[in-house]
Structure 1
Amino acid sequence: MQLTLKEVARITQTQLAGDENFVIEHICDLAAPRPDGICYLSRLEGATVPADFAVGALIVPEAAQSQDLPVKTNFLYAKNPEWAFTLLVQYWDAQQPKHTPGIHPTAVISPSAKLGKNVSVGAYSVIEDDVVIGDDTILFPQVYVGKRTQIGAQCILYPQVVVREDCVLKNHVILQPGAKIGNDGFGFIFHEGRHHKIPQIGNVIIEDDVEIQANSCVDRAKLAHTIVGANTKVDNLVQIAHNVKVGQGCIMCAQVGVAGTTTLGNGVVAAGQVGIVGHLHIGDGVQIGAQSGVTSHLPAGQAFFGTPARPMKDTLKIMAIEGKLPELYKDLKVLKKAVQK
């Protein structure tokens, strides 16, 4: 693919200082620049550029206009270089088709299903009775959509995604390969010496602009709804249990597990391998450090870390003391001997 710098400036909403007819053929990392490529520098403070650095164009902060940078290239000045670069990557990516438009002849689609305009369904996908799919949605090969499910417009379901019966995906939802929506919640009752399954007859609602990445699971509710709020992003291998309610704009990193009926407020960030027990409320804007175990309600707007999760500062103090325990233990033994004499 090729773009002139004039086109790049338009796409990235930046101010060009250089040859507007220069052709860009590659998007590059700073660590691997190319003479016909473009990369970005997010900030000037502390930035180091190798002496042999050569790139076709560089997106830099607007403050660089008043500085003499040690690089001879075409510059594009941006208020936020990373966002400008993201706009370019989004445009570049959109020009590279990832699916074959239309309905593949091996797809199995119920006569009662309703597909909107420009829907694509890949090979060996199955769409069951009374499914509704909105305009411009893409189902890659081997996707399964259960009965009465509703999928909105401009969604993307990658290979081996499963969306079971009665679930709702709103608009602009992306499900990466292997994501499973609407599995049965883990509900059993112990009676007369055996575990008996409790039917999970609720559903899952995935709101607008949610992305759920590979091999993550969102279980259906026991009776009502498991909900993932708008603009939330869920990483690989995350488990969201039955009746959980995740707010808007949350981030859930890899291997997070949220037990049943817990509620996450808006803007919650859970780092990798966080475990949250059931029936809790996590307040708006809470940040939870990696591998933390959350066993109690967490108030809004604070950072927590550790198992059990405590305010971040408290946990760091405890960890600092733990590092001194071997020396403190030696001192304690000396004192114990002195007392016993």
Structure 2
Amino acid sequence: MSASSTFTLGELAAQLQLECVGDASLEIRGLATLASAGEGDLSFLANPKYRKQLSDTRATAVILHRDMAEQTSLPALISDNPYLAFARASALFDDTPRLAGVHPSAVVAASAKLAEGVSIGANAVVGEHCVIGEGTTLHPGVVLSDYVEIGPRCVVFPNVSIYHRVIIGSDARIHSGAVIGADGFGFAPNQGAWTKIFQLGGVRIGDRVEIGAGTTIDRGALDDTVIGNDVIFDSQVLIAHNVVIGDGCAFAGRAAVAGSTTIGRNCTVGGGAGIVGHLTVADRVHVTACTLVTKSITEPGVSYSSGTPMMPTGDWRRSAVRFAQLDTLNKRLGEIEKLFKETSGK
């Protein structure tokens, strides 16, 4: 936490537009969970299962729903959505290191256009004809190839690689090791070998997108790969070439989407889930962890799951044997049903 991240409870209430109950002059220096909070910390209660911790917490103040306000004597900020209020409060205590200016070791092409307030860290590279918006920060080791456009107020963390002709909107956060615009997995079979299909499209990313560490977003083969506004990617997500993702989607770690699939708005994809190529997924679809989507989903607002839930190893081994027997059992059941109909005259 930076030394400047200190507020009175009343100041926080004003900035977050919340009702303050108790001593508004109390000094708040940070955020913490109910269990770990100490003097000067602001905590929050969003999940009822942690209600018991409210009576034991050492926090100076807490963010609460109005229905919970009478269950504590602590000073409080009252919110109809405590978790959202906590998220907004976290921005006020953000301690991400701030850069200023262009480091002497950075390499910036003469044709690049840097808006006011752009910061570029050590050993970063900005290629020819790049355009970087106002207040955007490139941390050390970031590499932008030619003709990259990044909007205002973006933060690109160390060692991100952004290939040529990638366009990124405003207020993006791109974490270390992300690769945007690498070639998609395109090859034509050729007598037992492979002939590369050079990827001639680009990548277009909307506003307020967060891209987790180690995530890769491939460029399109001919048309662009397109990511909408307010999309969030956890770490190590793979988005293949020519994928189109609608606004407000969320992808947990190690999720993967194969090429030329179109995903609607406000979908969620759980960790380790996979979506095969050339499919269409409707709006507001929820794909749970480790699910494999093998056909298009046309009904919006539905949750889908696959895979085998955890069970004791011995039980799983017996179940795995039964999985292999299902086809035989189904055929035998069909024969029994046929025999029953014949003998019963129905």
User: Which TM-score band applies after superposition, normalised by the shorter structure?
Assistant: 0.7 to 0.9
* Kept after mapping to 2: 8 A contact 1:12/1:85: no
**SS of residue paired to 2:64:** strand
What is the aligned partner in structure 1 of residue 156 from structure 2?
157
Residue 55 of structure 1 aligns to a residue whose secondary structure is coil
| Residues 211, 232 of structure 1: 8 Å contact kept | yes
Q: Which amino acid aligns with 1:88?
A: A
Match status 1:28 vs 2:32: yes
Shift, 1:56, TM fit: 1.0
Q: Which residue in the other structure is 1:143 paired with?
A: 142
Q: 1:307: Cα distance to partner?
A: 5.0
Please say if residues 32 and 42 of structure 2, whose CA atoms lie closer than 8 Å, have aligned partners that are also in contact: yes
* Alpha-carbon distance in 1 for matches of 2:201, 2:267: 25
Aligned partner of 2:77 in structure 1 is 76
Q: Deviations over 1:158-177 (max 9, x none)?
A: 11111101111111111110
Aligned length: 314
Q: Secondary structure in 1 aligned to 2:52?
A: coil
Contact map agreement 2:34 2:54 (CA 8 A) in 1: no
Segments of structure 1 that go 5 or more residues without pairing to the other structure are 309-318, 333-341
SS at match of 2:242: coil
1:305 partner letter: S
Partner of 1:12 in structure 2? 16
In the TM superposition, what is the alpha-carbon distance from 1:46 to its structure 2 partner? 7.2
| In 2, Cα distance between equivalents of 1:84 and 1:50 | 17
Deviations 1:222-271 (A, max 9, x none): 11100111101011111111111111100111111111101111111110
Residues 52 and 286 (structure 1 numbering): CA distance in 2 closer, same or farther, change over 3 Å? closer
Looking at structure 2, the residues matched to 88 and 180 of structure 1 have their Cα atoms a distance apart, in angstroms, of 30
Cα distance, 1:50 vs structure 2: 6.4
CA distance in 2, matches of 1:154, 1:59: 28
Match of 1:302 in 2: 302
Residue in structure 1 matching 2:57, options 53, 61, 68: 53
Residues 97 and 294 of structure 1: is their aligned pair in 2 closer, same or farther, counting only changes over 3 Å? closer
Tell me, yes or no, if structure 1 residue 196 matches structure 2 residue 190: no
SS at match of 2:43: strand
Q: Over aligned residue pairs, what C-alpha RMSD do you find?
A: 2.6
Are residues 1:232 and 2:231 paired? yes
Code of the aligned partner of 2:81: N
Q: Cα offset for 1:75?
A: 2.1
Query: Secondary structure at the residue paired with 1:73?
Result: coil
Say if 1:205 and 1:225, in contact at 8 Å, map to a contact too: yes
1:124-179 CA distances to partner (integer Å, 9 max, x unpaired)?
Answer: 01111111111111100001111111111111111111110111111111111011
Equivalent pair of 1:112/1:129 in contact (CA under 8 Å): yes
Q: Specify the SS of the correspondent of 1:296.
A: coil
Aligned counterpart, 1:246: 245
Report SS of the residue matched to 2:87: helix
- Aligned-partner Cα distance in 1 for 2:89–2:137: 23
Pick closer, same or farther for the CA change 1:87–1:280 going to 2, 3 Å: same
**Greater than 6 Å deviation, 4+ residue runs:** none
Alignment check: 8 A CA contact 1:54 1:73 kept: no
Partner of 1:85, secondary structure, is helix
Map 1:100-249 to 2 at 5 A. 100-249=99-248
**Secondary structure class of the residue paired with 2:225:** strand
Distance in structure 2 (CA, Å) of the matches to 1:117 and 1:183: 29
Amino acid at match of 2:129: D
Q: 1:2 to 1:172 in 2, by over 3 A?
A: closer
Q: Give the TM-score of the pair, scaled to structure 2.
A: 0.85
Distance 1:56 1:149, change over 3 A: same
Q: Distance in 2 between matches of 1:222 and 1:45?
A: 48
Pair 1:62-2:66 in alignment: yes
1:193 Cα shift?
3.1
**Residues 240 and 43 of structure 1, relative CA distance in 2, 3 Å threshold:** closer
- TM-score, normalised to structure 1, is 0.86
Matched residue SS, 1:49: helix
State the distance in 1 between where 2:128 and 2:232 align.
29
Displacement of 1:2 after TM fit? 2.4
The one-letter amino acid paired with 2:304 is: F
Q: 2:332 corresponds to which residue?
A: none
Q: In structure 1, what is the Cα distance between the partners aligned to 2:58 and 2:172?
A: 39
- Structure 2 residue identity aligned to 1:271: G
Tell me, which stretches of 5 or more residues in structure 2 are unaligned? 309-315, 330-346
SS of 2:51's partner is coil
Helix, strand or coil at the partner of 2:220: coil
What SS is found at the alignment partner of 1:48?
A: helix
Q: Is the 8 A contact 1:99 1:140 kept in 2?
A: no
Relative to structure 1, the CA distance from residue 127 to residue 64 in structure 2 (aligned partners, 3 Å threshold; closer, same or farther) is same
